[in-house]
């Protein structure tokens, strides 16, 4: 198998949650570039999600926008069903949807805690379950990539966020074991500071520049760099890789 064949996702159907912008959008496009047809999940911006679909169609891929709040299991079930109706059985899942409302631990409310855990951790778990159930039912192998974060080392204004991203690593390891007999691989990717809208909530450009200078490689990551790793983990080139958390952060956090 040559390198081009190893990276090919031709014939695969991918679902990317939170794919209307940032790392999710980049992941959808990377998977499409590798040959996959892609279901683009969004929550509240159908026009932007459709624009991502148009980019995918320009690559020669089939694409569909599917709305769902991943914190609701009924909406997750409908999202997976809609993706399958449009494109076929989902064989590649990227659990990217997440929220990070900044809050000091001493001021955090129960509602804030519950909201972040519902989207980030519950959403990841039950979206993976919905996709895995269909794969097992149809006897097809698959690949799941869950988005963790360098925030597992602790984010001062994100106790709930850090807890979910650490939980996703544990969930990934568990699922990799339980789904391996079904030929479903499960890995996690933990990005560091990435040039998206997310770090701009609570940081101005000068603060971001200072944070970037502190990274050994001297800059923020680009969404496409995270997406390239995600696409590799979904590809046949990573056929013997499961249960791992891949840190990608320019050397800012070493594990």
253 is catalytic: no
Looking at residue 152, the DSSP 8-state letter turns out to be G
184: left (phi over 0), alpha (psi -120 to 50) or beta: beta
Cβ atoms within 10 A of the Cβ of 245, count?
19
Tell me the Ramachandran region of residue 22: left when phi exceeds 0, alpha when psi lies from -120 to 50, beta otherwise.
Answer: left
Question: In terms of C-beta density within 10 A (0-12 exposed, 13-18 middle, 19 or more buried), how is residue 215 classed?
Answer: middle
Tokens representing residue 7 in the block: 């990276």
Rounded Cα distance between 67 and 252, Å, is 35
107, 154 in Cβ contact below 8 A? no
Q: How far apart are CA 30 and CA 241, in angstroms?
A: 19
Q: What is the 3-state secondary structure (H, E, C) of 72-130?
A: CHHHHHHHHHHHHHHHCCCCEEEECCCCCCCCCHHHCCHHHHHHHHHHHHHHHHHHHHH
Q: Of residues 161, 186, 198, 227, which has the active-site annotation?
A: 161
Tell me the backbone φ, ψ of residue 249, rounded to 5 degrees: -155, 20
Q: Is residue 83 within 8 Å of 16, Cβ to Cβ?
A: no
Residues with catalytic function? 161
């Amino acid at each position: 198998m040559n390198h081009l064949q190893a990276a090919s996702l031709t014939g695969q159907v991918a679902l990317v949650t939170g794919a209307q912008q940032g790392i999710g959008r980049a992941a959808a496009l990377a998977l499409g570039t590798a040959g996959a047809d892609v279901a683009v999940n969004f929550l509240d911006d159908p026009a932007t999600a459709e624009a991502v679909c148009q980019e995918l169609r320009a690559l020669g891929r089939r694409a569909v926008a599917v709305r769902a709040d991943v914190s609701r299991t009924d909406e997750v079930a409908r999202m997976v069903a809609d993706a399958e109706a449009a494109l076929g059985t989902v064989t590649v899942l990227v659990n990217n949807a997440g929220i990070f409302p900044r809050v000091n631990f001493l001021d955090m409310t129960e509602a804030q805690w519950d909201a972040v855990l519902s989207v980030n951790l519950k959403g990841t778990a039950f979206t993976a379950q919905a996709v895995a159930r269909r794969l097992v039912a149809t006897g097809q192998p698959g690949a799941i990539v869950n988005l963790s974060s360098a925030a597992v080392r602790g984010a001062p204004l994100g106790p709930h966020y850090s807890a979910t991203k650490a939980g996703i690593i544990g969930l990934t390891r568990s699922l990799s074991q339980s789904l391996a007999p079904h030929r479903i691989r499960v890995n996690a990717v933990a990005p560091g500071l990435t040039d998206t809208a997310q770090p701009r909530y609570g940081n101005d450009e000068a603060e971001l520049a200072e944070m970037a200078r502190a990274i050994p490689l001297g800059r923020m990551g680009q969404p496409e760099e995270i997406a390239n790793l995600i696409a590799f983990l979904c590809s046949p080139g990573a056929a013997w890789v499961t249960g791992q958390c891949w840190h990608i952060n320019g050397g800012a956090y070493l594990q």
